[in-house]
Structure 1
Amino acid sequence: MGAVYFYHLTRDPLERTLPMLLEKALSAGWRCEVRGTEPAMMDRLDAQLWLGSEESFLPHGVAGGPHDADQPVLLSTAPTAANGATCVMAVAGAEVSAEEVQALARTCILFDGDDEAALQVARGQWSRLTGAGCSAQYWSQESGKWQKKAER
């Protein structure tokens, strides 16, 4: 049974945090889906991921191509990944069900700490998922490094 990790982005933006988490997930042997709510955001994240150095290249693609199933990291707005993901990283309030969390190796919900609407969505997701029996951790970067602030 998987767990859901909430990442409250207070210092580093999504564009810096996401590659770090994806590198860790890939090194654990997980296939990943980055799930968003708008295709334009997935296109922006795609462009950002191409800007990394050769040493930190993250193999990825945007959903809708002929090789979706082969992608180690697939950026998508669909409710399920075509690449057989074992780790979902939800951004911009993208939904993840309790059943999905329990079936995956890991679920990460990344949200902007400076956006009140994003905070409210994340609080709702925490309540809904923990209420359904999902194991959850809340991580914050307030002090400059990631610290676990809560666990259920």
Structure 2
Amino acid sequence: MAEVFFYHLTTSPLEQALPDLLEKVRGNAWRALIRGTDQNRLSRLDEHLWQYRDDGFLAHGLAGGEHDADQPILLTTGTDNTNNAEILLLAHGAKTDAVEAGTFTRVCLMFDGNNPDELTAARADWKALTDAGIAAQYWAQENGRWTKKAEKSA
């Protein structure tokens, strides 16, 4: 059964927080599917992931290429788990439901806490997923670190 981690971004944007999370995902030898809602924003994120550090990068691809199934990290607006990812990462207001979440080891929902619409949507997602019996943790940025603020068991 999957667990859902909610990441409340308050001090850094997604582009700054995401690479650290993806490095941890890859450190566990997991594959990640990053779902967004806007192809242009995913394209900017794609460029950022290649250049975010001078001494390294995160191997990944944008969905729609001939090697999607081989990508350790795949960015998409679609719902197909083309790269057999264990981790589903939702950004830019992308959604999942309890049935889909249950097909992943972990679902990470990252939302901009300074955007009232994203904050409201994340609260609704927490309620819907936990009401469906999925374990969830809520993490918020605090003093430059992630702090667990809430947890609900399955």
Counterparts of 1:110 and 1:45, CA distance in 2: 14
In structure 1, the partner of 2:114 is 114
Moved more, 53-62 or 76-85: 53-62
Question: The residue matched to 2:145 in structure 1 has which SS?
Answer: coil
Instruction: Write out aligned runs for 1:72-111 (5 A).
Output: 72-111=72-111
Q: CA deviation at 1:29?
A: 1.2
In structure 1, the partner of 2:150 is 150
Which consecutive residues of structure 1, in runs of 5 or more, have no partner in the other structure?
none
In structure 1, the partner of 2:59 is 59
Q: CA deviation at 1:84?
A: 0.8
Question: The residue matched to 2:12 in structure 1 has which SS?
Answer: coil
Counterparts of 1:56 and 1:103, CA distance in 2: 31
Q: CA deviation at 1:56?
A: 3.4
In structure 1, the partner of 2:32 is 32
1:87 maps to amino acid: I
Which consecutive residues of structure 2, in runs of 5 or more, have no partner in the other structure?
none
Alpha-carbon RMSD? 1.1
Runs (4+) of structure 1 exceeding 2 A deviation are 52-56
Distance 1:54 1:72, change over 3 A: farther
Question: The residue matched to 1:141 in structure 2 has which SS?
Answer: strand
Counterparts of 1:23 and 1:70, CA distance in 2: 18
In structure 2, the partner of 1:135 is 135
Aligned residues: 152
Q: CA deviation at 1:54?
A: 5.6
Question: The residue matched to 1:50 in structure 2 has which SS?
Answer: helix
Counterparts of 1:54 and 1:73, CA distance in 2: 20
In structure 1, the partner of 2:22 is 22
Cα deviations across residues 40-59 of structure 1 (Å, max 9, x unaligned)? 11101001111133643100
Question: The residue matched to 1:140 in structure 2 has which SS?
Answer: strand
Moved more, 70-79 or 139-148: 139-148
